[in-house]
Copies of this chain bind each other. A is one copy, B any other.
């Protein structure tokens, strides 16, 4: 049998485990041109919270009793397409389930010789690509600029900060535990960082840690930390909106200070993006990041929940609350 996690109820505020349901269905059969996949690692990501809502989003949202969406690392266990063989390890989008059938368009083969296969949904997958294209293509980062990253210890933020360091920038980050702060400064080489739970005046803290102002702000978080960036933005500054995790689980939408006038005085830009809009850059980005990993310039950490598919809801909720350092994964099975 195939075990799946479906959406049982649309969450109000933070999701609860009861918003999900574990169901069993027969293992599907692949049609011609398709493959049957066995999930090894499941990715849980902030964007999935949006898919649980009924509200408009950039993709079709998950309906009641539908399998939760998501990327996986999987093993091909039956192939009806000549490009994929049994035993191949692939990145696929079959959602929160142990087995799934996929066409080959969304499949990407993973080379286990470069890095552990789990990185294919981490630093060498969607989160790493998000950091890369967001910082370089949307943020148009220039060598030597001043960069601030919120959510800096997460799967995306930790890569953003390191790429900026590789580009010779001065990098400051924020995160929510002292352990994360130590990690991004001591292990990843950020120039400075602060634990936002221990700071009350974010604007003053940013002015202190970014004395020359901020050229590029990579925003994973939104809310009050983002408010504090605008008065610290340099002329021609860029604010890259990657995520707004502080806002996803509010029971009532927040209000905040109006800040658009800063964009006039600073001739600044705010821009949101989706990694899928930059598919033409993905192959080059993966080659570059794999090289940086091999050279030891790009480091990563994973927070892996063990215990199979039934642990996915708890791992997802924990990630939304900042329980992870680096990429949050759920281990579903070992490769054969």
Name A's B-contacting residues (CB within 8 A).
50, 56-58, 219, 222-223, 226, 235, 241-244, 247, 253-258, 260-274, 277
Known pairs A255-B258, A260-B241, A261-B244; A272 contacts B268 (CB<8 A): yes
**Closest CB of chain B to A243's CB: distance in Å?**
7
Tell me the interface secondary structure of chain A in the complex: mixed
Per assembly, the copies of the chain total 2
Chain B residues contacting A244 (CB-CB under 8 Å) are 258, 260-261, 264
Q: Of all chain B residues, which has the CB nearest A266?
A: B272
Q: Could you jot down 5 A-B contacts, CB within 8 Å?
A: A226-B260, A241-B264, A247-B261, A269-B271, A270-B271
**Which residues of chain B come closer than 8 Å to A270, judged between CB atoms?**
260, 263, 269-271
Of B267, B272, B273, the contact of A260 (CB 8 Å cutoff): B272
Complex contact B260–A57 (CB within 8 A): no
Closest Cβ of chain B: how far from A131's Cβ, in Å? 15
B272 pairs with A264, CB closer than 8 A: yes
Residues of B within 8 A of A253 (CB): 257-258
Q: Which residues on the B side are within 8 Å of A242 (C-beta)? A: 264
B56 adjacent to A260 (CB under 8 Å): no
A64 and B13 CA atoms in complex are apart in Å by 51
Query: Considering only CB atoms, which chain B residue lies closest to A219 in the complex?
Result: B260
CA of A143 to CA of B273, assembled, Å = 23
The interface residues of chain B lying within 8 Å CB-to-CB of A258 are 222-223, 244, 247, 253-256
With A222-B258, A258-B255, A272-B260 in contact, do A57 and B241 touch (Cβ < 8 Å)? no
User: With A256-B258, A258-B253 given, is the CB distance from A268 to B271 under 8 Å?
Assistant: yes
Question: In the complex, are the beta carbons of B277 and A267 less than 8 A apart?
Answer: yes
Which residues from B are CB-within-8-Å of A247?
Answer: 258, 261
Contact A273-B267, Cβ < 8 Å, known A258-B253, A260-B219, A260-B226: yes
Q: Is the CB of B226 within 8 A of A264?
A: no
Given A244-B261, A253-B257, list of 9 further CB < 8 A pairs?
A57-B265, A58-B264, A226-B260, A241-B261, A242-B264, A262-B272, A264-B272, A267-B277, A270-B270
Query: Which residues from chain B contact A235 at a C-beta distance below 8 Å?
Result: 58
Assembly CA distance A267 to B133 (angstroms): 13
Chain B residues contacting A273 (CB-CB under 8 Å) are 264, 267
Does B261 contact A56, Cβ atoms closer than 8 Å? no
Find the residue from A247, A272, A274 having the highest chain B CB count within 10 A.
A272
Complex CA distance for A247 and B264, rounded to whole angstroms: 13
* Alpha-carbon distance A149/B257, docked complex (angstroms): 23
Q: Nearest Cβ distance between residue A244 and chain B, in whole angstroms?
A: 4
- Bound: A50/B265 CA distance, A: 10
A56, B150: Cα distance in complex, Å: 25
- CA–CA, A54 and B329, complex, Å: 51
Asked whether A266 lies within 8 Å of B58 as measured between CB atoms, the reply is yes
Docked Cα-Cα span, A255 to B255, in Å, equals 6
Q: How far is the CB of A130 from chain B (nearest CB, A)?
A: 11
Residues of B within 8 A of A265 (CB): 50, 56-58, 272
